[in-house]
Amino acid sequence: MRRTFQRLPDAAPVHKTVQDEIRHYIIEHGLRPGDPLKPEAELARIFGVSRNSVREAVKALESTGVLETRRGSGVYIKDFSFAPLLDNLPYGLMQGPRALGELVALRKALESAMIADAMRELTPASVAALRAELAAMLERAERKESFAEQDRAFHRLLFTDLGNAMLLRLFDLFWVAYHRAAPSVPHRDPMEIYRNHAAILDAVLSGDPEQARDAVRQHYVGLEERITDSLA
């Protein structure tokens, strides 16, 4: 049963409430990316607010990637994207190492929770690709060079065979946000980072989920320690 849209109370924080009502309207009416939203005047009538309040709400929803305005055409539902979050997250992290530490803790929890499922779906092709990325890490580590892109590819490959595009987007968002915001955090020895990744792959190939979870957690312990040191 569809919810009934009622006129909003005068005491409500109008600009915020209109945003929520527009979101509900999109869901209740089954609007999909590319579908047009009702005209500004019609939404103002439905919600019992001024056109200016609707206009402000639409602008706010544009900034978060929910809507898009096409000049001379109207307002449309936008395809979901992490881009707005990706653009803004690093600025929040740059406020200090504490937020960066929370991001690392969140990724550690997510990867360690998903690694057992990833192990069950891992294909021989992905294992070969993981070994190749690990070999590239070792070559760069021996030259005391960083290998951020290999690190990124390694973690994506671990979970690619789950077929969860949302999870991979989220991991990429975390990775990019961390590397944009982390220049002030002291760097670890590349060889130590390589060994952590080698331990993860060995644990994954062992078939023991608990060993794999421990290896993932241990990898992120080093990051957390560096962030804690920078807080001190």
* CB neighbour class for 89 (10 Å; exposed up to 12, middle 13-18, buried from 19): buried
Provide the 10 A C-beta neighbour count for residue 205.
Answer: 14
* CB neighbour class for 2 (10 Å; exposed up to 12, middle 13-18, buried from 19): exposed
Q: What percent of the chain has pLDDT over 70?
A: 83
Task: Compute φ and ψ for 36, nearest 5 degrees.
Answer: -80, 145
How many CA atoms does the CB half-sphere of 230 hold within 13 Å? Answer: 20
pLDDT band at 181 (very low <50, low <70, confident <90, very high): low
Structural domains in the chain plus CATH codes: 14-77 (1.10.10.10), 87-231 (1.20.120.530)
Kindly report whether the global pTM for this prediction surpasses the value 0.75.
no
* CB neighbour class for 19 (10 Å; exposed up to 12, middle 13-18, buried from 19): buried
Whole-number pLDDT of residue 98: 74
Single-letter amino acid, residue 5:
F
pLDDT band at 184 (very low <50, low <70, confident <90, very high): low
Under 8 Å between Cβ of 18 and 8:
yes
What DSSP string runs through 55-100? HHHHHHHHHTTSEEEETTTEEEEPPP-SHHHHHHHHHHHTT-HHHH
pLDDT at 212 over 60: yes
Mean pLDDT of the chain: 85
Comparing 148 with 129, the larger pLDDT belongs to 129
- Reading the block at residue 130, the tokens are 């993981």
- State pLDDT tens for residues 92-128: 555 666 777 888 888 899 999 999 999 999 999 999 9
From CA 88, how far away is CA 169, in angstroms rounded?
16
pLDDT band at 14 (very low <50, low <70, confident <90, very high): confident
Comparing 149 with 174, the larger pLDDT belongs to 149
Under 8 Å between Cβ of 63 and 56:
no
Comparing 168 with 1, the larger pLDDT belongs to 168
pLDDT at 153 over 70: yes
Whole-number pLDDT of residue 174: 81
SS3 11: coil
